[in-house]
Copies of this chain bind each other. A is one copy, B any other.
Amino acid sequence: MNGGMPKPTIKDVALEAGVSLGTASRVINRFSDVNVEMRLRVERAIRKLGYTPDAVAQSMRSRSTRTIGILIRDFSSPAFVSFATVVQSLLYREGYVPLLAGYADEPRRELEILSAFAQRRIDGLIVTTSSDSDARLADTRRKLAVPTILFDRDPDGEQDTIAVDHRSGIQQVMTYLLKLGHRRVALLTGAHHVRPARERIEAFIKAHHDAGLVLDPMLLRTGSFTAEFAEQQSVDLLALPNRPTAIIAGGVNMLPGVLLAIRAAGLSIPKDISVVSSTNPELCELFMPTVTELRVDYGAMGVEASQLMLGRVQGTIKGPPRILRFDTTLIERESCAPPHV
Contact = CB atoms under 8 A, between A and B. Distances in A.
Interface residues of A, number: 53
A109 B142 CA distance: 34
Given A60-B60, A76-B78, 19 more contacts: A1-B145, A55-B119, A55-B120, A56-B120, A74-B85, A75-B75, A75-B81, A76-B81, A76-B85, A85-B104, A89-B104, A89-B109, A92-B109, A92-B116, A98-B100, A256-B286, A259-B286, A263-B288, A287-B288
Nearest to A115: B52
Contacts of A115: 52
A155 interface: no
A121 interface: yes
Contact of A116 (B76, B97, B101): B97
Interface string A263-298: 100000000000000000011011110000000000
Interface string A44-82: 000000001111110110000100000000111010110
A85 B102 contact: yes
Interface of A: 1-3, 52-57, 59-60, 65, 74-76, 78, 80-81, 84-85, 88-89, 92, 97-102, 104, 109, 112-113, 115-116, 118-121, 142, 145-147, 256, 259-260, 263, 282-283, 285-288
A185 B113 CA distance: 48
A97 B97 CA distance: 13
A282 B256 contact: yes
A54 B121 contact: yes
B88 A101 contact: yes
Given A85-B104, A97-B120, A104-B89, A3 B145 contact: yes
A131 B30 CA distance: 34
A69 to B, nearest CB: 10
B1 A118 contact: no
Nearest to A145: B2
A92 B121 contact: no
Contacts of A59: 56
A92 B76 contact: no
A60 B56 contact: yes
A167 B112 CA distance: 41
A85 B92 contact: no
Contacts of A256: 282, 286
Given A52-B118, A75-B80, A84-B75, A112 B100 contact: no
A283 B100 CA distance: 25
B99 A112 contact: no
Contacts of A283: 282-283, 286
Contact of A88 (B54, B85, B102, B287): B102
A286 B259 CA distance: 7
6 pairs of A and B residues whose beta carbons are closest in the complex: A2-B145, A55-B119, A100-B100, A55-B120, A75-B81, A56-B59
10 contacts: A52-B119, A54-B121, A56-B120, A75-B80, A89-B104, A92-B109, A92-B113, A92-B116, A256-B286, A260-B286
Contacts of A146: 1
A112 B85 contact: no
Nearest to A281: B256
A59 B1 CA distance: 19
